[in-house]
Amino acid sequence: MIRVEAAVKRYGALPALDGIDLAIGAGEAFGLLGPNGAGKTTLVRLLATLASPDSGRLSVGGHDTVTAAAEVKRLIGVVFQENNLDRDLTPRQNLSFHARLHRVDAVEETVTAMLVRLGLTERADTPVNGLSGGMRRRLVIGRALLTQPRVLLLDEPTTGLDPAIRRDLWTLIRDIRDQGCTVILTTHYVEEAERLCGRVGIINRGKLVASGTPADLTARFGAERLEDVVVALTTGDPA
């Protein structure tokens, strides 16, 4: 479903991505771990067609992200860290606007079903300003799902949320994964990647330094926990 081949992206003289190769199968949930500035968000932006690689190639569903960007956009849903909802509108209005913008069929029925799925029916007509942080994140994810994407790109979707709300969102993401959607999740929370993703990749300074299942990685590096592997590969600290 997703292929990244020798992808390089520079900002000035600094490489944000430095020759990354990656393959993710259809229906797979893949987690990207690494420190701030490692290149995780840059990779998501390239896959979302919001930036172009300086060299290398990326494709989604067989479509090149540069030469066939329109086809890629039809396959993906994207959730970035920033909450870019219209805060003066209600959840129903935010979803309806997005659905019409993307020419979703049966807008009212689709939006109503999504509000039920998100557990937001009782707050459907409350301005976004009046919602909790967890409700807003659910709404952002639900908005990305309106077009029934085959690939969902989630860039640190639970950052800044308390543990209870984070676990609530894990349930939603797990349901999306279990319905066959390919999911790429960037996160700082190792437990989040372990619970939601079959495989993970560790990025440091623009390079993919390791990838595999959590069990494979801990065995390969002789560690008790995946967190120990991440720390060792991104800081050089064997502890």
What mean pLDDT do residues 210-233 have?
95
What is the per-residue pLDDT for 160? 83
Tens digit of each residue's pLDDT (9 = 90 or more) over 133-143: 899 999 999 99
Structure tokens at 106: 């049966």
Domain count, the chain: 1
The strand order across the sheet containing 2-11 reads 14-24, 2-11, 55-60, 63-64
What is the per-residue pLDDT for 81? 84
Tens digit of each residue's pLDDT (9 = 90 or more) over 157-206: 998 888 888 898 999 999 999 999 999 999 999 999 999 999 999 999 99
Proportion of the chain above pLDDT 70, given as a percent: 98
How many Cα atoms sit within 13 Å of 166 on the Cβ side?
16
- The CATH number of whichever domain residue 20 belongs to comes to 3.40.50.300
What mean pLDDT do residues 194-223 have?
95
CB 164 within 8 A of CB 144: no
Residue 239 pLDDT > 80: no
Tens digit of each residue's pLDDT (9 = 90 or more) over 122-135: 999 999 999 998 99
Residue 238 pLDDT > 70: no
Q: How far apart are CA 200 and CA 217, in angstroms?
A: 9
Tens digit of each residue's pLDDT (9 = 90 or more) over 48-95: 999 999 999 999 999 999 999 999 999 999 999 888 899 999 999 999
What is the per-residue pLDDT for 125? 96
What is the per-residue pLDDT for 159? 86
Q: How far apart are CA 8 and CA 15, in angstroms?
A: 7
Q: Which of 31, 61, 62, 65 is nearest to 48 (CA)?
A: 65
What is the per-residue pLDDT for 237? 58
**pLDDT band per the 50, 70, 90 thresholds, residue 156:** very high
What is the per-residue pLDDT for 228? 94
